[in-house]
Amino acid sequence: MKRFLAGSIGFVLIMFLLSACAGPKPDGERVFHYSAPVLLPGTSWVMNTPGFWIGIHPDPDRVIIPAENIAGFNEAIRSRTGMIQDMTAFPDTVKGSRVVNAVRGSLRFVSARKYFREDGSRTDDAFFREMETLMNLNAVPEEIPVRLGMVTGYTHQRILPTDQELYSSMKSTDIDRLQNSAYDIGTPLAVLHATVDGSWLYTITPLSEGWIKAADIAYCTREQIVHYLSAEPFVVTTEAKVDLFLDQDLRGHHSFVRMGCRFPSRDSGVPGVIEVLLPFRDEGGVCVFRGGFITASQVSRGYLPYTPRTIILQAFKLLHSPYGWGDMHGEQDCSRFIQVVFSTVGIQFPRNSLQQAKVGRLIAGFTRQTGPEERLGFLSDPTLGGTSILHMNGHIMLFLGSVGGVPYAIHDMRGYSEPVGKEERFRLVNRVVVSNLYIGQGTTSGAYLQRLLTVRAVEDGAQERQVASP
């Protein structure tokens, strides 16, 4: 969202809709009749452990980027992608026309698609008139005074200010087309507008923009946000989901957060328990900070070292976790999977796969004409395992390495097609899996290997290796 003042409000929302992770688009014609097997074709059970991939890596404990250089690497990511907003430097005011144009653009985008509602009926003009009235765009001033805040509970960011789900097809109701993203406790944001009843707020987070329920946001000063985000000592959550409690006995459950969340911390005085600082919303909607408690084994004191071993271990903590379109159901999609894993070492990825594919050092870029042997050649380097990302249209994966000349990745996968005689069958995966890159071979979509667009090593380096020629 760094390009916000250049007129990109709303663009991130639409781009997320178009480029979020993949599988076939639910167009009303596809029925997911077949579940994928536990082990995907070409994968053996030993490959479902991190130790297997750590064991074939030639130098799994090599520090890819020293801790003192991570901040500079993050700044390079922000500069290259233009899609990560520094909330501590967010402007005090924003032009109202930019917000109005963004919100109306999103409304037009959704209304043009005639999505299905939960009862099976199509969205109609009455629905969108209701949305437009609720958005109260006539109340947007010429210059909007920005209010900063923090998320106080796991919350969803919506394309439109409603909990109502919309689907491309009633055959794929696990993909809500109004779901933009979701955010954990402590996420900073900017509030730009409110619905007419004040129940939803139009927000910009570091990664995306959209509507969040007002009840999940507490207003903070800029100084509070700066202090909270930079306070030391701190811990980082290292499990797929980590529970937060309000007492040292870990009985009063407050909420949960996902992998890669950072919290100011101090010793609780109780063995195995760490106290963290959490934002709460008072009766007036203002931020107050109180202690919460967390199991010590589920966090790291400071960021983990950025090594292949670390990333592989963290990625496999999410193995078999359910797929969640736009973070639905408290889960993650392919791009959020990449983001939370690398967050544990302090690396800040953009939210969607298209922008994530710009991170790091380019190893290879492919066209449709690039043959499989040339592609395999770029994936034969064993040092790339665990710290390189593979991008294809609408999907992103973490490269693990090659076994017997066959490349493998771990990724949050919607599904894949397989040939059945002269027909094709879609296999629903809907979870984080290990697969080889020949998945999909023999179908009209083609093998993942042939669909790859780029290979990038998530590391510094001014000198880029040779790019595959067309």
Helix (H) or strand (E) holding 179: strand 179-183
Mean pLDDT score, 297-314? 99
Hey, which residues does 390 pair with through a beta bridge?
397, 455
Mean pLDDT score, 161-166? 97
Pick the CATH number of 32-65+306-457 from 2.130.10.10, 3.90.1720.10, 3.40.50.300, 2.30.31.70: 3.90.1720.10
Mean pLDDT score, 23-33? 45
Q: What distance in Å separates the CA atoms of residue 348 and residue 75, rounded to the nearest whole number?
A: 9
Helix (H) or strand (E) holding 278: strand 273-281
Q: Say if residue 31's pLDDT is above 90.
A: no
Q: What distance in Å separates the CA atoms of residue 164 and residue 178, rounded to the nearest whole number?
A: 8
CATH 2.30.30.40 fits 83-226, yes or no: yes
pLDDT band with cut points at 50, 70 and 90 for residue 159: very high
Hey, which residues does 398 pair with through a beta bridge?
389, 410
Mean pLDDT score, 176-200? 98
Q: Write down how long the chain is.
A: 470
pLDDT given for residue 173 in this prediction: 87
Residue boundaries of the structural domains of the chain: 32-65+306-457, 83-226, 234-301
207 near 84, Cβ under 8 Å? yes
Encoding tokens for residue 90?
A: 């967010």
Mean pLDDT score, 5-11? 39
399 near 424, Cβ under 8 Å? no
Q: What distance in Å separates the CA atoms of residue 192 and residue 219, rounded to the nearest whole number?
A: 12
pLDDT given for residue 2 in this prediction: 30
Same-fold call for 32-65+306-457 versus 234-301? no
Mean pLDDT score, 268-289? 97
DSSP string, 185-237: TT-EEEEEEE-TTSSEEEEE-SS-EEEEEGGGEEE--HHHHHHHHH-SSEEEE
Packing angle between helix 11-19 and helix 96-111, nearest 10 degrees? 30
Distances (CA, A) of 312 to 215, 333, 340, 390: 37, 18, 13, 15
Q: What distance in Å separates the CA atoms of residue 243 and residue 258, rounded to the nearest whole number?
A: 9
For the four alpha carbons of 145, 148, 149 and 154, in that order, the dihedral sign comes to: positive
pLDDT given for residue 269 in this prediction: 93
Q: What is the pTM of this model?
A: 0.91
pLDDT one-digit tens code per residue, 70-118: 999 999 999 999 999 999 999 999 999 999 999 999 999 999 999 999 9
For the four alpha carbons of 263, 267, 273 and 277, in that order, the dihedral sign comes to: negative
pLDDT one-digit tens code per residue, 429-457: 999 999 999 999 999 999 999 999 999 99
pLDDT given for residue 467 in this prediction: 41
Mean pLDDT score, 344-354? 97
353 near 19, Cβ under 8 Å? yes
Q: What distance in Å separates the CA atoms of residue 294 and residue 248, rounded to the nearest whole number?
A: 8
Q: Say if residue 296's pLDDT is above 90.
A: yes
Pick the CATH number of 234-301 from 2.30.30, 1.10.3470, 2.60.40, 3.40.50: 2.30.30
- 3-class secondary-structure state, position 112: coil
pLDDT band with cut points at 50, 70 and 90 for residue 407: very high
Mean pLDDT score, 383-388? 98
pLDDT band with cut points at 50, 70 and 90 for residue 21: low
pLDDT given for residue 13 in this prediction: 43
